[in-house]
Chain A
Amino acid sequence: MDSDDKYLKGIFSDSVNDAVPLSFLAVVNRKIEFEKAARIKRASRKEILTQVLFFAAALSILIAAFIYIGKNYFDINFSFTFSAADKFNLGVKSAGLRVKEVFLNPDSIIWYVIALNTALLVVLQQIIQRKLHTSDKKTNRN
């Protein structure tokens, strides 16, 4: 250390490790509690949003599957015009016959694929829900 260093050290050491206000620790702890609460709220909002998005996606797939089945196996016309009303009625009447045909048809593999997809969606939802629940526990611990 040269003379400049010693001189500057003398100047700057006047305020070395000054006393901290008595309330400092209490305020820090209060801020920590506020932040913990805020994090729990944020995590909860994120979980709700994730579940909503997941179910919206699952529902969309389900609706698409129903439309596909309705159009290809039950002859239900989904165009909303008066002329299509008759076709719709005819389609519904033949539904019973169609159901039997679909389930007993050797080529009804599409049904099993749809069922499998639905089961997969449910399993995925359970896994995601458990993961979010575990991360929630970790946030709460902190």
Chain B
Amino acid sequence: MSREEELKIIEKIKAGDSFLYDRLVLEHSPKIMSVIRGVVGNNEDAEEIAQDVFVKAFFSIDKFRGESSFATWLFRIAYNMAISKMRKKRYSFVDIEKTNLPAHINDQNNQNEAEERERRYILLEKMLKNLDTNERFLIMLFYNQDKSIREISQITGMGESNVKVTLHRIKKRLALIADSKMEVSYG
């Protein structure tokens, strides 16, 4: 969906055509789910938070002025909601579920790929466990969603230099974890 098309849909929703909201949900739910899953770790909690994000967005849609993209605005809601809910300790990070492994992992011919994917999941889990909620969110936006520093700054409300410094710090920590894990794996 192009930005112009999206803005037209949003204007129609604001005018009362709320059925069009389904298109926005279908368009953006995979991205939101992906990031929130990385933040909370399990599908069930991620689903609940993602649903609440879209509900909140629906009732706040009059506040969307189109200065940023709709995705950025949604991520901002998701960020605030994830931070708030994790802070209340209603959700705690649990092990990354491996339910998202593609079906062909079980194929004998792709055994090496399956093992590699398995290793990467374990590594991903270890990395995310060592980060706090805010850091997990930053890292998911940067590496999972390819968001720019500027976009991450708009989403989180952090200054751009603060985002850069935090990402750099996290990256170094993750690289150490990755190195140690690789040593253990291939040790």
Contact = CB atoms under 8 A, between A and B. Distances in A.
Interface stretch (B4-12, B51-59, B76-84, B150-158): B51-59
Interface stretch (A16-24, A44-52, A105-113): A16-24
A8 B178 contact: yes
Interface residues of B, number: 37
Nearest to A25: B25
Contact of B124 (A5, A11, A20, A27): A11
B163 interface: no
B58 to A, nearest CB: 5
B143 A18 contact: no
B123 A11 contact: yes
B100 interface: yes
A19 B140 CA distance: 17
Interface in B1-57: 16, 18, 22, 25-26, 29-31, 33-34, 37-38, 47, 50-52, 54-55
Contact of B37 (A5, A18, A27): A18
Interface string A1-19: 0001101111111111111
A142 B172 CA distance: 47
Interface string A29-44: 1011001000100000
Interface in B115-148: 117, 120-121, 123-124, 127, 139-140, 143-145
Contacts of B25: 24-25, 28
Nearest to A142: B59
B86 interface: no
B117 to A, nearest CB: 7
A7 to B, nearest CB: 7
B24 to A, nearest CB: 10
B94 interface: no
A59 B14 CA distance: 41
A100 interface: no
A24 B48 CA distance: 9
B175 A12 contact: no
Contacts of A27: 47, 51
A11 B127 contact: yes
B34 A11 contact: no
A18 B178 contact: no
B114 interface: no
A24 B38 contact: no
A117 B96 CA distance: 69
Nearest to A23: B47
Contacts of A20: 29-30, 33, 50
4 A-B pairs with least C-beta separation: A12-B143, A17-B30, A20-B29, A31-B55
5 contacts: A5-B171, A21-B47, A25-B22, A28-B54, A39-B59
Given A11-B120, A24-B25, 4 more contacts: A12-B38, A20-B29, A27-B47, A141-B16
Interface of A: 4-5, 7-21, 24-25, 27-29, 31-32, 35, 39, 141-142
